[in-house]
């Protein structure tokens, strides 16, 4: 194998981005040059997702895009979709190699000659064999770094394929997490986002056993001592695993920011039971209350699924009213899609597609309302913005510590810098002007 140019495309979650970045570093250590996916490359690696039906469908489009750039390129599929349905990916025209959950971390071992294959090679383990932990983190892709601390899931939610794609719950050792965080800090990155499949379960399988060696609280407390990182952000965490003591610690910590994202999935206890979620809506409500008491300005995001089998109009209205009354900041709305080999696919009460679409639209509208209300609550307050690195139509974007998104006229000197700003007003387009409090005197706005 002669090293050449390699490009990557990542679908799905922050965890996938952290793993793509780590795999890319493996290629670079073998002498490859990483290029943008839009540029000609000898190898295109597509890290797939299978959480939604749309993610599956996008794969074919991405393969065509790669082969349009270089018809002779070697195309590799990795990720959750590659583990769940390797044959399906292998049937896509132009795909040369499909690697499963454990094989993807040894990707360069499978490369010999990079000639197009007449028959796609598949190397995918049984998911029961995905019982060891491989650490990952992203650097160089964006201003914030995604740090993987946990993988896999032992929950049995009836709609979810992730345990079949990623295996059992297992964790990085605390020492490895701290070492990776320090390496990220050494790169001058100011914010780390903790990621995993079920990060609140951190500590389980830390040394290959099934018990918890450390708790999530102990992880958070240790990371808060890392020098050189200005911000630590918790990504999605199950409400039943977000303990009161963790909320209290984050509220007074040095580096952790007041931003939580908790999946709810439904505001109906009947549906939560059908989904085999491990909490009821009253517990979720209590978690929101605890966060607000500890951090009044916290940003709270919510995942919710519409159109789950058995969801009646009354069930949906119950969810809508529950969310409307909650003091939350935004929603991530998912339209239920049937996934092979899940319990939900056999459940009665299938919701028609047009009804699912209508309910999704209603909740997305509620999300807009919630986000605007949250932004209005922040007017007149001073926050610190970390600016990111991309020029988007002449503007640079950034986030306050409590996840208010701002933009300013493009200025490359602002990339990866932090500035105190006062949020001023919302205009007719839902944009909030801010005033710089230090170093910078530029007009800027907050956007959805």
pLDDT of 132 strictly over 80: no
Which pair of structure tokens corresponds to residue 444? 């800027």
State if pTM tops 0.85.
Answer: yes
pLDDT of 422 strictly over 60: yes
What mean pLDDT comes out for the span 319-336?
97
> How long is the chain?
448
What mean pLDDT comes out for the span 436-448?
51
3 state SS of 108: helix
Amino acid 28: pLDDT: 93
Band (pLDDT 50/70/90 cuts) for residue 312 is very high
Which pair of structure tokens corresponds to residue 203? 């500590």
pLDDT of 218 strictly over 50: yes
What mean pLDDT comes out for the span 86-98?
91
Amino acid 236: pLDDT: 93
Amino acid 382: pLDDT: 93
Amino acid 116: pLDDT: 67
**How many other CB atoms are there within 10 angstroms of residue 207's CB atom?**
11
| CA–CA dist 209, 204 (Å, integer) | 7
Band (pLDDT 50/70/90 cuts) for residue 282 is very high
Amino acid 176: pLDDT: 95
pLDDT of 446 strictly over 60: no
| CA–CA dist 54, 51 (Å, integer) | 9
If 0-12 CB within 10 Å is exposed, 13-18 middle and 19+ buried, where does residue 55 land? Answer: middle
CA 322, chain centre distance (Å): 25
3 state SS of 200: helix
């Amino acid at each position: 194998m002669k090293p050449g140019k390699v490009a990557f495309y990542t679908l799905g979650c922050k965890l996938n981005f952290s793993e793509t970045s780590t795999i890319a570093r493996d290629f670079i250590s073998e002498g490859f040059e990483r290029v943008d996916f839009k540029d000609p490359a000898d190898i295109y690696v597509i890290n797939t997702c299978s959480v939604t039906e749309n993610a599956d469908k996008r794969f074919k489009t991405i393969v065509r895009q790669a082969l349009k750039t270089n018809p002779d390129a070697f195309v590799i599929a990795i990720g959750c979709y590659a583990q769940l349905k390797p044959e399906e990916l292998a049937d896509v025209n132009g795909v040369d190699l499909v690697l499963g959950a454990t094989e993807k971390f040894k990707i360069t071992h499978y490369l010999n000659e990079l000639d197009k294959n007449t028959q796609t090679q598949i190397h995918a383990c049984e998911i029961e064999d995905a019982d060891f932990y491989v650490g990952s983190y992203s650097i160089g892709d964006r201003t914030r770094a995604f740090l993987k601390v946990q993988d896999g899931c032992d929950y049995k939610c009836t709609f979810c394929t992730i345990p079949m794609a990623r295996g059992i719950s297992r964790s990085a050792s605390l020492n490895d997490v701290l070492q990776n965080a320090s390496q990220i800090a050494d790169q001058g990155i100011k914010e780390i986002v903790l990621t995993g499949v079920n990060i609140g379960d951190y500590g389980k399988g830390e040394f290959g056993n099934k018990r918890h060696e450390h708790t999530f609280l102990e992880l958070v407390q240790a990371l808060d001592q890392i020098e050189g990182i200005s911000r630590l952000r918790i990504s999605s965490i199950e409400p039943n695993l977000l303990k009161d003591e963790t909320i209290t610690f984050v509220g007074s910590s040095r580096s952790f920011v007041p931003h939580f994202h908790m999946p709810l999935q439904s505001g109906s206890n009947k549906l939560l039971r059908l989904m085999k979620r491990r909490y009821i809506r009253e517990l979720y409500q209590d978690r929101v209350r605890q966060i607000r008491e500890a951090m009044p300005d916290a940003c709270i995001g919510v995942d919710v699924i519409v159109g789950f089998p058995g969801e009646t109009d009354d069930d949906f209205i119950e969810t809508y009213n529950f969310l409307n009354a909650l003091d939350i900041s935004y929603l991530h709305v998912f339209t239920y899609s049937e996934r092979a080999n899940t319990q939900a696919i056999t459940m009665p009460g299938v919701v028609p597609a047009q009804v699912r679409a209508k309910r999704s639209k209603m909740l997305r509208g509620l999300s807009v309302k919630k986000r605007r209300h949250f932004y209005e609550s922040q007017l007149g307050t001073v926050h610190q913005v970390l600016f990111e690195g991309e020029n988007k139509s002449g503007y640079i974007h950034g986030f306050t510590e409590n996840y208010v998104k701002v933009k300013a006229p493009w200025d490359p000197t602002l990339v990866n810098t932090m500035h105190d700003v006062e949020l001023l007003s919302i205009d007719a387009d839902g944009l909030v002007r801010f005033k710089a409090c230090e170093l910078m005197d530029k007009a800027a706005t907050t956007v959805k």
